[in-house]
Each structure stands twice: as structure tokens, then as C-alpha cells.
């Protein structure tokens, strides 16, 4: 109950903190509106600051930054093939090409105000439109390599942007200027497109950190358009609108740089929460794979050291066990004995009843021996029907007693098989390390000699 209550409380706190986080982000994104309101309410629109030199420098910096960010975005697109980045690149290029005349005509702004002013809203409208199209393509499949390498496409768009420059000049210097309020319509279009883009990001892509940066940029672009709509050329609101657009541009370029330095794509850069979630999943997967690997290694180790039919140690592992036990016995001065066992007339069982019967005998034989041995005694299968038992802390006499117990139990063993019963006997030779020799070979030879002596004397007996 306490754990459930704690979990429920943590869930409520998590929801509250998430709501607070979103409110902070929304408040931060909308703070520029206070500046717009303040300038509109408390600053005279006639209060102007005509700074041609500074304006030219600002436009030059915007073009320089726009060109740089366009190149970085293009490289991201070439790497990832993300359609969203293709449209983002076009948006940066379009803004740079269309905005450039705005700076060129600064010096004649008093004489040709329309020519000076229209390039600003035109560049923002084109950029907003291309960014919006890119937003609609977010998450779609990658462009092919041929599409990424298609330089003709970029050239056609560049020509299109230059044609827009020419069209704006025609509008400003001909009677087309009087048809509609071009500046109001273009700025309003950029405002609406940016606001719709913000809503789409918040509804569809709010879990992506770079897309939230994208939404913040669009929000700043929208507020700059509001400031431009309220402003008069060169007044404080007009300069403030430029600042808001520049901030939005810098945020957007930050997102591009983050993509370039990480995955090369907007869609595969994750938030901290999503990264932690993915890390937890991958950690669980890794731990599961590790457990499976450990189990597989344990099974392989068992298979490498065990006789697959009987479950007894195989010859190689049995010899390794002898080396370890002898080392321990020598350090502690303890006796170690060895039994050599061979099932009597085992070949006759195979010949008369078949190999399946022989396998059944071997398994039953090993089971009887295991039931007789102590937990730390070591049983090994060293041949077809030949076995050995290592007896730590056991003298020659005690080993002979145990061997006789094994012989007796095997003799009384009855195994039903295929409508008949099988029975076998065993011959056993006993040897002790140190008494019958100091090396493995010497003790093995002694145990084998006594085993064959038991066979020679009629089988079904222990020779010690």
C-alpha cells in the first residue's frame, strides 16, 4: 500500500512539474509580446533612429549567417536525406537571396521606400512558407542518394528566388504597388503560417527537443511579424521586430548545428527523458542478453566438461579435477584414493540387446554410483564402459569399503528394458596417491592393474 501511494504521489508530482515546464516554455516564448506592447503603448511611433550604416551591417551579418546555416543544413540533408532538412535548406537560401536587396537599397530608402521595405516581408513570407512545407514532410522517408545529389534542383530554386527579387522590384517601381497593400499582406501571410506551424509542432512533435526549438523559432518569427505590422520604418518597434526575427533565426540555426553535431537529422535527436527511457530499455535488453549469454556459456562449459549420455565428467575434465584435488591434498597432507571401474560383459549387452540397451545400462550404472558417493567425490567416464572415481580425504582402506558398496549395489541393480530385465556386474581396482605412486600415471597404472586383476580372477569383485 505504501509503495502504491508513493507511486501515485510521484505520478501527480510528475504531471504538475511537466505542466509547470510547459508553462515556463510558453511564457519564455511569448515574453517578446510584452516588448511589442510596451513600445506600441508608451513609445511614440514617430520616434525614429535612421542608422544606414548599422542597418547595412545588420543585413550583411544576416546574409552571412543565413548562407553559413544554409550550407550546414545542406550538409545535414546530404548525410541523412531527411526531406524536412531539404525544405529547411531552401528556406535559408530563399531568405538570404530575397533579403539581400533590402540592404542594397538602404541608401535610397527615403526616395524609394517601397523598394527598400518590400524585400523584408517577402523574404520572411518565402522562408515561412518553405519551413511550413518542411514541417509537413517531417518524419517521412529519406530521399534517395540520387535526389540528394541533384544539383539542378538547387539551381532551379536559386533562379526562382532571383525572379522573386525581380518581381518585388517591379511591384515597387510600377503601378502594381497600388493594387494591394503588399507589405501588409506578405507580413500577415508570414505571421499566419508561422502560428499554424507552431500549433502543428505542439500537437505532433512536442517530444522532440529540436522540433521544440523549431517551434520557438516560429513563435519568434510570428511575433516579429506582429511588430513589423505595427511598426513604421526606422522607429523603435521596427528595430525591435528585426531583433525578434534575428533571435528566432539564431534559435533555428542552433537546432541545425545540434543536428549536425549529433545524428545529422532533426527526427533522431531525442530529449533527455526519451534518451533515459531508451537507455533503460537498452539496459534491460542488454541485461537480458547478458543473462542469456551467461546461461549459454554455463551450458557450453557443462557440455565441454560432461559426458552427454551419463552426465558424468568427461575424461579431460576428470583429469583437471584430479590435478586440483592433488594440489589441495599435498598442501593439507590429506589422503586421496582412486577407483577404476569397468562394467563386466558390457559388449555382450550391446551385441544381444542393442546399443539402446547399452545406453540404458550406462545411465543406470552412473545413477547407482552417484547415489553411493559423497557430494565432493568426482565421477568420470574415461572410456566406453570404463569409469573412474576420485575420492578426496579417503584412505586406501576406506576406498576399498566404498568400492565394495558400489559393487554390491550394481550387482543388485535390475533394469527393465523392452519387455525383459537387464543386470550387470562391475570390476573395481583401488589405488591411493602416495601409497601406490606420487604421479597420476603411477596411480592410474596401479588402479588399472588391479582392475584387470579383478577381471582375470572372475570379475564382479574389488581388488585393493
What is the pTM (predicted TM-score) of this model?
0.60
Asked whether 462 and 404 are in contact (CB, 8 A), the reply is: yes
* pLDDT(96) > 80: yes
* pLDDT(219) > 90: yes
Residue 121's pLDDT is what?
Answer: 95
DSSP classification of residue 138: T
For residues 262 and 306, what is the distance between their CA atoms, to the nearest angstrom? 50
- Cell 542518394 belongs to which residue? 145
Residue 5's pLDDT is what?
Answer: 52
Q: What is the pLDDT of residues 60-81, one digit of tens each?
A: 999 999 999 999 999 999 998 8
Residue, of 322 and 45, whose pLDDT is higher: 322
Q: How far is CA 418 from CA 182, 354, 357, 422, in A?
A: 102, 11, 9, 10
Kindly give, in sequence order, each residue whose CB lies less than 8 Å from that of residue 135, ignoring residues fewer than 6 positions away: 84, 197, 200, 201, 214
φ and ψ of 120, to 5 deg:
-65, -60
Which residue among 385, 386, 432, 457 is the active-site one?
385
Residue 51's pLDDT is what?
Answer: 84
Determine the length of the chain.
464
Residue 422's pLDDT is what?
Answer: 84
Q: In whole numbers, what is the pLDDT of the chain averaged over residues?
A: 86
- Cell 521595405 belongs to which residue? 117
For residues 53 and 57, what is the distance between their CA atoms, to the nearest angstrom? 6
Asked whether 186 and 164 are in contact (CB, 8 A), the reply is: no
DSSP classification of residue 181: -
- According to DSSP H, which parts of 31-181 are helical? 32-42, 52-80, 83-104, 113-117, 119-136, 145-148, 151-173
Q: What is the pLDDT of residues 5-63, one digit of tens each?
A: 566 677 778 778 777 877 887 787 788 999 999 999 888 877 888 888 888 898 899 99
Lowest mean pLDDT among 191-200, 223-232, 414-423: 414-423
- Active-site residue 367, yes or no? no
Q: What is the pLDDT of residues 143-183, one digit of tens each?
A: 899 989 889 999 999 999 999 999 999 999 888 888 889 99
Segment 363-388 shows an average pLDDT of 89
Read off the pLDDT band of 264 (50, 70, 90): confident
Q: All 3 cell numbers of residue 411?
A: 550387482
DSSP 352-380: HH-HHHHHHHHHHHHHHHHHHS-TT-EEE
Amino acid at each position: 500500500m505504501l509503495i502504491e501511494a508513493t507511486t501515485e504521489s510521484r505520478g501527480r508530482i510528475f504531471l504538475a512539474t511537466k505542466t509547470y515546464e510547459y508553462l515556463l516554455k510558453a511564457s519564455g516564448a511569448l515574453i517578446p509580446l510584452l516588448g511589442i506592447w510596451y513600445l506600441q503603448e508608451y513609445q511614440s511611433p514617430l520616434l525614429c533612429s535612421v542608422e544606414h550604416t548599422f542597418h547595412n551591417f545588420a543585413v550583411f551579418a544576416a546574409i552571412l549567417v543565413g548562407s553559413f546555416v544554409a550550407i550546414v543544413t545542406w550538409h545535414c540533408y546530404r548525410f541523412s536525406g531527411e526531406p524536412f532538412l531539404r525544405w529547411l535548406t531552401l528556406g535559408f537560401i530563399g531568405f538570404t537571396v530575397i533579403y539581400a536587396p533590402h540592404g542594397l537599397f538602404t541608401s535610397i530608402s527615403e526616395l524609394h521606400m517601397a523598394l527598400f521595405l518590400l524585400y523584408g516581408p517577402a523574404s520572411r513570407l518565402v522562408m515561412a512558407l518553405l519551413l511550413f512545407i518542411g514541417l509537413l514532410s517531417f518524419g517521412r522517408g529519406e530521399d534517395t542518394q540520387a535526389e540528394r545529389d541533384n544539383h539542378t534542383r538547387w539551381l532551379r530554386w536559386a533562379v526562382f528566388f532571383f525572379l522573386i527579387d525581380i518581381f518585388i522590384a517591379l511591384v515597387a517601381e510600377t503601378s502594381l504597388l497600388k493594387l494591394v497593400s503588399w507589405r501588409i499582406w506578405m507580413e500577415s501571410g508570414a505571421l499566419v503560417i508561422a502560428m499554424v506551424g507552431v500549433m502543428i509542432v505542439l500537437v505532433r512533435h512536442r517530444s522532440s527537443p529540436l522540433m521544440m526549438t523549431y517551434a520557438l523559432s516560429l513563435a519568434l518569427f510570428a511575433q516579429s511579424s506582429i511588430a513589423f505590422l505595427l511598426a513604421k520604418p526606422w522607429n523603435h518597434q521596427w528595430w525591435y521586430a528585426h531583433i525578434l526575427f534575428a533571435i528566432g533565426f539564431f534559435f533555428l540555426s542552433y537546432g541545425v548545428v545540434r543536428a549536425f553535431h549529433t545524428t545529422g537529422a532533426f527526427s533522431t535527436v531525442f530529449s533527455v527523458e526519451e534518451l533515459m527511457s531508451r537507455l533503460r530499455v537498452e539496459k534491460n535488453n542488454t541485461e537480458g542478453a547478458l543473462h542469456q549469454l551467461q546461461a549459454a556459456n554455463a551450458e557450453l562449459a557443462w557440455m565441454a566438461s560432461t559426458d552427454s549420455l551419463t552426465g558424468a565428467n568427461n575424461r579431460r575434465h576428470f583429469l583437471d579435477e584430479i590435478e586440483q584435488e592433488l594440489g589441495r591434498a599435498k598442501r593439507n597432507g590429506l589422503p586421496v584414493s582412486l577407483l577404476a571401474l569397468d562394467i563386466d560383459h558390457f559388449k555382450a549387452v550391446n551385441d544381444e540387446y542393442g546399443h539402446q540397451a547399452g545406453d540404458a545400462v550406462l545411465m543406470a550404472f552412473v545413477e547407482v554410483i552417484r547415489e553411493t558417493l559423497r557430494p565432493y567425490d568426482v565421477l568420470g567416464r574415461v572410456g566406453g564402459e570404463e569409469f573412474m572415481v576420485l575420492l578426496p580425504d579417503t584412505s586406501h582402506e576406506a576406498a576399498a569399503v566404498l568400492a565394495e558398496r558400489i559393487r554390491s549395489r550394481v550387482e543388485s541393480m535390475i533394469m527393465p528394458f523392452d519387455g525383459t530385465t537387464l543386470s550387470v556386474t562391475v570390476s573395481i581396482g583401488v589405488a591411493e596417491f602416495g601409497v601406490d605412486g606420487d604421479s597420476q600415471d603411477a596411480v592410474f597404472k596401479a588402479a588399472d592393474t588391479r582392475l584387470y586383476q579383478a577381471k582375470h580372477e572372475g570379475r564382479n569383485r574389488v581388488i585393493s
